[in-house]
């Protein structure tokens, strides 16, 4: 089972490397959205510090959603998804591998970039650290929930818009606890509760999302 997981992760990372432009587009979107706000609202540091958690998290959420179209659609179009569904390995494991690879190329770079981008908002170092941890816990949840939406809308006309309608409401708790953790740090309130809730959401998503996604993919293939 682990061999199949490794095989899929290797394959998808290799494909992402061959299609570097797609990955960079998501990153560029993230950087641009975050960089536009200070230009739009002005250089008031207090205002920027207040807005930073929400902006950074919403940008991460939208960038993560942008990448969902690449999760299953290319495999569906070229028939490799059928081959995966008929492999001896459980589809749930294959889905887990695909989501992990997806997060590594579209989620983790956002996490790594966020401390640098947070400098534009004059965030103090402890807040930047909390932002980093909250994104580290939250972005995998975005990928896992997004995978369910991507699978449900596979092959559907206008699926790109539909996936947003489906998954954005499900992203709300992650956004609230993620941005809330940074806000709580800035306000001097404990951040443990927020981060624990994000960790809980991650654990629940790891347990349930691959299974739900695999079921949705089987329906889409029919």
Which residues are at the interface with other proteins (CB under 8 A)?
Answer: 3-4, 7-8, 11, 14-15, 18-19, 74, 77-80, 82-90, 94, 221-222
**Minimum CB distance to other proteins, residue 216 (Å):** 15
Measured between alpha carbons, how far is 212 from 178 in angstroms, rounded to an integer? 24
Decide: residue 151, CB within 10 A, 0-12 exposed, 13-18 middle, 19+ buried: buried
**Minimum CB distance to other proteins, residue 5 (Å):** 11
**Minimum CB distance to other proteins, residue 104 (Å):** 17
Our CA angle for 125, 63, 189, nearest 5°, is 35
Assess contact for 47 and 21: CB atoms under 8 A. Answer: no
**Minimum CB distance to other proteins, residue 217 (Å):** 11
Q: What is the dihedral of CA 118, 122, 124, 128, to 10 degrees?
A: -10
76 contact partners, CB below 8 Å, separation of at least 6: 154, 155, 220, 221
Assess contact for 213 and 147: CB atoms under 8 A. Answer: yes
**Other CB atoms within 10 A of residue 78 CB:** 10
Residues in the chain, overall count = 222
**Measured over all CA atoms, what is the biggest interatomic distance in the chain, rounded to whole angstroms?**
58
**Minimum CB distance to other proteins, residue 70 (Å):** 12
> Measured from the CB atom, is 18 or 119 closer to other proteins?
18
**Minimum CB distance to other proteins, residue 25 (Å):** 16
> Measured from the CB atom, is 206 or 221 closer to other proteins?
221
């Amino acid at each position: 089972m682990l061999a199949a997981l490794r095989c899929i992760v290797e394959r998808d990372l290799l494909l992402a490397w061959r299609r570097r432009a797609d990955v960079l587009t998501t990153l560029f979107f993230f950087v641009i959205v975050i960089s536009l706000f200070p230009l739009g609202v002005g250089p008031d540091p207090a205002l920027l510090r207040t807005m930073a958690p929400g902006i950074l998290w919403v940008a991460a959420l939208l960038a993560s959603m942008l990448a969902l179209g690449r999760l299953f659609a290319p495999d569906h179009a070229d028939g490799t998804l059928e081959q995966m569904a008929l492999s001896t390995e459980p589809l749930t494991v294959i889905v887990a591998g695909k989501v992990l690879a997806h997060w590594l190329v579209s989620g983790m770079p956002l996490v790594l970039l966020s401390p640098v981008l947070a400098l534009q908002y004059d965030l103090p170092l402890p807040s930047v650290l909390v932002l980093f941890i909250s994104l580290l816990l939250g972005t995998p949840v975005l990928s896992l929930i997004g995978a369910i939406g991507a699978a449900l809308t596979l092959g559907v006309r206008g699926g790109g818009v539909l996936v947003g309608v489906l998954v954005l409401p499900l992203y709300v708790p992650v956004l609230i606890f993620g941005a809330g953790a940074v806000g709580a740090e800035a306000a001097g309130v404990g951040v443990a509760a927020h981060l624990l809730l994000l960790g809980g959401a991650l654990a629940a998503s790891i347990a349930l999302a691959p299974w739900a996604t695999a079921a949705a993919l089987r329906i889409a293939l029919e």
